[in-house]
Chains A and B, each alone.
Chain A
């Protein structure tokens, strides 16, 4: 196992705070950059993300060429608010509408490949309360200043917001520590060097993202790491410390369902790579229990495991991008 990656490919966002330098590198490489914000009912946070990114990395420094919101049919004012700040907003189901329709963050990210134009794509979750433009330039830094790195992933200290005004100094990452890290340790120990493999913020070159399948739901981050690692190796990857990220806390049951998807994604990958032989059916239902009056009642969650193929295999995509090139 190569243990040196964590030393050579781990950065801090402040390494890239000279945005003028990033801009020069962008021009030198002659690349364009798209920022994708996947949303589902993010009316409280979406505007701030758009406003700060637009102000700091489009108006003041033209580092980002476009911001695109891909929405999973939010029922709140997410789309209306995002549009009011003059960014394109798409419902995911309206992109490539002839394909079977799925719902999930991974679906939004995959479809963003079709509607965005950039050579580099930055994905940032839309629920970040303490958003700062470092979330974007921190991830872009390694891609622009290195010729080797093609994918950069965030990690951070993760305080959790409990209600209105109180937060704990550390926390979060429970699924990482209880599920992902043990699995990586058992089967792909090099990937344990990613301090937060499930972080929702990453950036990479289009020609990386378009060549890997996208899990439509919570499995997106796990699948993406494994696929990039298997296809190009650890050396094209980097991780960047973005300091603090304040996010919504999820209850344990929701985290359980997340863990279910991640384990399933992992098993599917292992199976595909002929690393394990599972000799029985693996079910798609997560069963949880809750006490109702005096008896335990099962809650059965059907968790679909869909995966989009590499976008480059979609004819509409290849046609669109061969024309633009």
Chain B
């Protein structure tokens, strides 16, 4: 273990020496808009960059996932995956010209997840500079359709068709450095939409108001009892509705997520929310619909799994405090497929999903140094057997 840990300062120095290449990749790939289900242009740019940096095989698969493979030296070892989701929350038409200063990179989507995708594009050059070769094939993938309604479809499909066993995986997130995810909570993400029939809208000041109906739904959800164990949470993360200040709202919707260490608890709570919606449907005589948009099962690596221990050692040697939380990302799909995997964060940032999203450049070098260190231990068999 000491061998790869002692290499970390060299990794950081060498990575810093190619900062212009890394920043260029973040900018040139990240500036291409890639809302979920419309990632094609960014996928093509990423593939072009991977090819420019001499990844051995580059392709976009049938599901739109750009894939670059660095061939390993041993033909018989299963592949190791490095993934960074390609899609962002930003709309296609939004200008995405990034700003770079001496300390930061800012622009739409840079912290979720364009910086990580730019780093992914730089990895062939990082490995070349560090003179690293691996026995396993290293598969660099930026899966599409990960966010929201995408429901991690890109990585699900990729692992479904991948012809050979997968040894292990590292998932990259732009932020936050120190993030170490090795377990996923069970999760269901849903939307509740209320709409008032057009016949009830015109001229009736006392017609049902969709916002007030949705408010009833929210109050009812907040009234649900959540257990302390298994840890369970309901987040109401999105809301929209109405037309203008003085007009009764004839549509309104919320987006919510149920998370729990227990899949059973997630299902039960989803059933409770369905009952709430049905009840309000009947009481208010409005059209209110519950729609499940994605779900994941709870899954985990043990906290004493050798890979988790190695990742903690790496962070400690880099002087970074580890923060271990559940993560509902591509990690879940790897773990569900019995593939040991981690999610790591690469740098610090701010305003993740807002205007003015930015990441810091300096911590990025330590963040990236985790990748060759983890790939080295994976290639040495830490997850085998």
Please list the residues of chain A having a beta carbon within 8 angstroms of any beta carbon in chain B.
43-45, 47-48, 50-52, 54-56, 59-60, 77, 80-81, 84-85, 129-130, 132, 161, 164-167, 246
- Chain A residues with Cβ under 8 A from B308's Cβ? none
A130–B101 CB distance below 8 A: no
Partner of A52, one of B18, B27, B52: B27
A59–B102 CB distance below 8 A: no
A246–B97 CB distance below 8 A: yes
Give min CB distance, B90 to chain A, whole Å.
10
Partner of B95, one of A50, A52, A167: A167
B27–A48 CB distance below 8 A: yes
- Chain B residues with Cβ under 8 A from A55's Cβ? 20-21, 23-24
A44–B99 CB distance below 8 A: yes
Known contacts A47-B102, A130-B31; A165 and B95 CB within 8 A of each other: yes
- Chain B residues with Cβ under 8 A from A80's Cβ? 102
A80 nearest CB neighbor, chain B only: B102
The answer to whether the Cβ of B28 comes within 8 Å of any Cβ in the partner chain is yes
B102–A51 CB distance below 8 A: no
User: Which of B18, B100, B355 gathers the greatest number of chain A CB atoms within 10 Å?
Assistant: B100
- Chain A residues with Cβ under 8 A from B23's Cβ? 51, 55
B27–A51 CB distance below 8 A: yes
Give the total number of A-B pairs whose CB atoms are below 8 A apart: 54
B100–A51 CB distance below 8 A: yes
- 9 closest A-B pairs by CB: A84-B102, A55-B24, A55-B20, A47-B100, A129-B97, A48-B100, A54-B20, A81-B102, A55-B21
A43–B101 CB distance below 8 A: yes
The docked-state distance in angstroms from the alpha carbon of A34 to that of B347 is: 34
User: Which of B21, B27, B94, B95 gathers the greatest number of chain A CB atoms within 10 Å?
Assistant: B95
Partner of A45, one of B18, B95, B99, B355: B99
Give min CB distance, A129 to chain B, whole Å.
4
- Chain A residues with Cβ under 8 A from B52's Cβ? 60
Q: Could you list 8 examples of A-B contacts with CB < 8 Å?
A: A45-B99, A51-B23, A51-B24, A54-B20, A81-B101, A85-B20, A161-B95, A167-B95
The answer to whether the Cβ of B98 comes within 8 Å of any Cβ in the partner chain is yes
Give min CB distance, A163 to chain B, whole Å.
10
A59–B94 CB distance below 8 A: no
A165–B94 CB distance below 8 A: yes
The docked-state distance in angstroms from the alpha carbon of A50 to that of B20 is: 8
B355–A164 CB distance below 8 A: yes
Give min CB distance, A320 to chain B, whole Å.
29
B21–A85 CB distance below 8 A: no
Partner of A48, one of B19, B99, B355: B99
- Chain A residues with Cβ under 8 A from B24's Cβ? 51-52, 55-56
- Chain B residues with Cβ under 8 A from A246's Cβ? 95, 97
Known contacts A130-B31, A132-B28, A164-B355; A51 and B99 CB within 8 A of each other: no
Give min CB distance, A231 to chain B, whole Å.
38
Give min CB distance, A60 to chain B, whole Å.
7
A161 nearest CB neighbor, chain B only: B95
The docked-state distance in angstroms from the alpha carbon of A254 to that of B323 is: 53
Question: 1/0 contact trace for B45-63 toward A, CB 8 Å?
Answer: 0000000100000000000
Give min CB distance, A53 to chain B, whole Å.
9
The docked-state distance in angstroms from the alpha carbon of A52 to that of B25 is: 9
Partner of B102, one of A44, A60, A85: A85
- Chain B residues with Cβ under 8 A from A81's Cβ? 101-102
- Chain B residues with Cβ under 8 A from A52's Cβ? 20, 24, 27-28
B95–A77 CB distance below 8 A: no
Considering the complex, which residues of chain B in the window 80-104 have a beta carbon less than 8 Å from any beta carbon of chain A? 94-95, 97-102
- Chain A residues with Cβ under 8 A from B21's Cβ? 55, 59-60
The docked-state distance in angstroms from the alpha carbon of A129 to that of B96 is: 10
Give min CB distance, A35 to chain B, whole Å.
14
The docked-state distance in angstroms from the alpha carbon of A55 to that of B102 is: 15
- Chain B residues with Cβ under 8 A from A50's Cβ? 20
The docked-state distance in angstroms from the alpha carbon of A130 to that of B97 is: 6
- Chain B residues with Cβ under 8 A from A167's Cβ? 95
A162 nearest CB neighbor, chain B only: B95
A166–B102 CB distance below 8 A: no
- Chain B residues with Cβ under 8 A from A60's Cβ? 21, 52
- Chain A residues with Cβ under 8 A from B102's Cβ? 47, 77, 80-81, 84-85
The docked-state distance in angstroms from the alpha carbon of A44 to that of B358 is: 13
B18–A48 CB distance below 8 A: no
Known: A43-B101, A130-B97. 9 other contacts (CB 8 A): A50-B20, A51-B24, A55-B21, A59-B18, A59-B21, A84-B102, A85-B20, A130-B31, A166-B95
A84 nearest CB neighbor, chain B only: B102
- Chain B residues with Cβ under 8 A from A130's Cβ? 31, 97
The docked-state distance in angstroms from the alpha carbon of A85 to that of B22 is: 13
The docked-state distance in angstroms from the alpha carbon of A130 to that of B102 is: 18
The docked-state distance in angstroms from the alpha carbon of A292 to that of B26 is: 48
B28–A48 CB distance below 8 A: no
The docked-state distance in angstroms from the alpha carbon of A56 to that of B48 is: 13
- Chain B residues with Cβ under 8 A from A56's Cβ? 24
- Chain A residues with Cβ under 8 A from B94's Cβ? 165
Give min CB distance, B63 to chain A, whole Å.
29
- Chain B residues with Cβ under 8 A from A85's Cβ? 20, 102
- Chain A residues with Cβ under 8 A from B98's Cβ? 48
- Chain A residues with Cβ under 8 A from B20's Cβ? 50-52, 54-55, 59, 85
Give min CB distance, B94 to chain A, whole Å.
5
Give min CB distance, B227 to chain A, whole Å.
44
B106 nearest CB neighbor, chain A only: A44
B23 nearest CB neighbor, chain A only: A51
The docked-state distance in angstroms from the alpha carbon of A98 to that of B20 is: 36
The docked-state distance in angstroms from the alpha carbon of A246 to that of B107 is: 15
B355 nearest CB neighbor, chain A only: A164
B98 nearest CB neighbor, chain A only: A48
Give min CB distance, B363 to chain A, whole Å.
16
Give min CB distance, A21 to chain B, whole Å.
15
A167 nearest CB neighbor, chain B only: B95
A164 nearest CB neighbor, chain B only: B355
The docked-state distance in angstroms from the alpha carbon of A84 to that of B27 is: 18
